[in-house]
Amino acid sequence: MPLTGTGEIVAPARDGGHGVGAFNVIQLEHAEAIVAGAEGVGAPVILQISENAVRYHGGLAPIGAATLAVARAAGVPVAVHLDHATDRSLVRQAVELGFTSVMFDASALDYEQNVRATAEVVAFCHEAGVWVEAELGEVGGKDGVHAPGVRTDPGEGAAFTRRTGVDALAVAVGTSHAMLTRDAVLDLELIGALRAAVPVPLVLHGSSGVADETLAAAVAHGMTKINIATHLNKAFTTAVRHRLTADSCLVDTRVYLGDGRTAVTAEVSRLLRLLTEPCGAAPAAVAR
């Protein structure tokens, strides 16, 4: 199946009141597992590569090309997204490679600087036909620090979207990156207010720390793109650790990495079933 535009996956989900799974790729096994999980339930999916993963691989091209190849061979619609890019040159590389979207993260800057930087990236990407996500209200946890008091203001979110031209907005509503427990407390009322005020799909970062029932509630209140990374890494690592503990003589990496891949496939299928269930009528969209 040809590579699918990110907007072609996210926009119908927002209109239909259900979620889209966006899962991070670190190794090739992640990409293979995520696509297999999506195929297992017949759902579209977004493969994400973060700036941290690029740093791990020493460059975007190798892991990016591999991920794009897996996406193009999929039997369901798959988009490929650059996640949390702070480096504009990396954004350009992703566009040149054929990524369908980028997330440009200038959230650490003050509001006006964030607006200016993001608008410039949006102009470049839109000229190339690439969908752009940005962040307003920094989500905690990128350096292992929670920021429970940080929230995105609906009015500011609407103005930011209008001034930058972004296609989706990541908002701070109570999640934190890299959580190992699933006990984050989300401000569901704020999510509803953001959904009513912001005319583009909302993105929930740090979703690994959110319990199933809260994820479903977040989608019902207006979240669309749900980013998950650490939770899948836990499933992968647990399976690998179990296999290596059970067989101390094992040296064939295909065996234990295969177990990790199988575990991620199953969890992706489960999460996509949770996220893609229609959640009833969504709040009325704001006129664009």
Active-site annotation, residues: 83
Q: Dihedrals φ, ψ of 24, to 5°?
A: -85, 140
Contact in structure between 184 and 191 (CB atoms under 8 Å): no
Q: What CA–CA distance (Å, rounded) separates 288 from 282?
A: 17
Q: Is residue 108 packed enough to be buried (19+ CB in 10 Å), middle (13-18) or exposed (0-12)?
A: exposed
* Burial class of residue 69 in the structure, from the number of CB atoms within 10 Å of its CB (0-12 exposed, 13-18 middle, 19+ buried): exposed
* Nearest CA among 184, 188, 161, 173 for reference residue 137: 173
- DSSP single-letter state for residue 58: T
* CA gap 130, 123 in Å, rounded: 10
CA neighbor of 148 nearest in space, from 174, 172, 171: 174
